[in-house]
Amino acid sequence: MKLFAPALVLLAGIFLCCGCSVEESQEGVSVSDSGIKRIMIDGSSTVEPIVSRIAERFEAEYNDVQVPVKVTGTGTGFREMIAGHIDIANASRPIKASEKAECEQNSIETIELKIGIDGLTIAVHPENDWVSAMTVAQLKKLWEPGSTVKTWKDLDPSWPDHQISLYGAGEESGTFDYFTEVIVGKEDSITENYSPSADDNVIATGVAGDKYAMGFFGYAYYQKNSSKLKALAISNTDSLNDAVAPTAESITSGTYVPLSRPLFIYVKKASLARPEVEDFVRFCLTTGQSSVSEAGYVAISEADLNTTKQSFDDALKSAAR
């Protein structure tokens, strides 16, 4: 107790002697003074498994760079990008015009790089022997708000007269946004009669445990549980003959429509001036590409990868200028 006052004086003295100074912080540079550099990444939970895998391999190769990843969702990731807090935003959808405008307002330029493809899978129970393909119109009828479809028979008279139990991602997930947009036709609107879950495992387990169930989730979760589930082929036209099943090939080639979507990283152009960010992005487009399939997604085609690399090189040139 008696030492308290002298300690306070000493501390104040240290601060004064060392010359406490106020400076403007340099944009994005890590606070750590141990010479370790840090790349800031935030955004989609869908893209995170890819980027985390790449980041871990990158850190193993570059000892002085740390690449932590935050998961807050695509929208929040873009908000952080607009605020200038991060170098890379993970996104499971392209940037919206409004978000782009806000970036420009804050004089933040980004480049869009496609790094993988997610195939959204519609799955049923493996013992379900009456359906193997559906049209988008049928799915819309089943999933739209105020849907009158209660039993399988309501969809097709030859199907059993048994209630369909529906499982799917909850509204906080990018998978939900994407599904409602392409199937229902209007983002964020969906039937009231489904069980939402933030955890795709719960959805997969739900479908695997109920012969009359149907659910949607990312292709990664289907792959992990493919023995317990049956994926439906989806037709974008009115004819079931055009139905395409979700496979690595159909998703890469872009024939599995409309339920495959590209995954992006948006890189802040100003950050590319930092060698560690440039190295990391290049790593994503070269060595790191194998992480895409390891994370359960589908790699983009050779041609698409070349286009992506080209836009990265262009951005580097313009950043150097």
With CB under 8 A as the contact rule, the residue among 36, 96, 172, 189 that binds another protein is 36
Q: Is 289 in the site for another protein (CB under 8 A)?
A: no
Contact string (CB under 8 A) for another protein, positions 172-211, x = contact: --------------------------xxxx----------
Cα–Cα distance for residue pair 175/225, rounded to 1 Å: 18
* CA proximity to 214, closest of 141, 161, 118, 143: 143
> Which backbone phi and psi does 48 adopt, to 5 degrees?
-50, -45
With CB under 8 A as the contact rule, the residue among 141, 224, 228, 269 that binds another protein is 224
For residue 183, the 8-state DSSP code is I
Q: Is 99 in the site for another protein (CB under 8 A)?
A: no
* CA proximity to 86, closest of 17, 39, 134: 39
Q: Is 3 in the site for another protein (CB under 8 A)?
A: no
> Which backbone phi and psi does 25 adopt, to 5 degrees?
-75, 145
Q: Is 300 in the site for another protein (CB under 8 A)?
A: no
Q: Is 225 in the site for another protein (CB under 8 A)?
A: yes
- The smaller minimum CB distance to another protein, of residues 28 and 234, is found at 28
Burial 22-59 (b: 16+ CB within 10 A, else e): eeeeeebebeeeeeebbbbbbbbbbbbbbbbbbbebbb
Piece in contact with another protein (CB under 8 A), picked from 18-26, 119-127, 138-146, 257-265: 18-26
Count of residues in contact with another protein, rule CB under 8 A: 42
- The smaller minimum CB distance to another protein, of residues 58 and 152, is found at 58
Q: Is 64 in the site for another protein (CB under 8 A)?
A: no
* CA proximity to 119, closest of 137, 91, 92: 92
Instruction: Provide CB contacts within 8 A for 148, sequence distance 6+.
Output: 154
For residue 96, the 8-state DSSP code is P
With CB under 8 A as the contact rule, the residue among 39, 46, 47, 48 that binds another protein is 48
With CB under 8 A as the contact rule, the residue among 19, 97, 146, 302 that binds another protein is 19
Q: How far is CA 242 from CA 121, 234, 246, 249, in A?
A: 17, 8, 13, 16
- The smaller minimum CB distance to another protein, of residues 213 and 296, is found at 296
- Give me the residues that bind another protein (CB under 8 A), please: 14-15, 18-25, 31-34, 36, 38, 48-49, 52-53, 55-56, 59, 66, 68-72, 85, 198-201, 218, 220-221, 224-225, 294-296
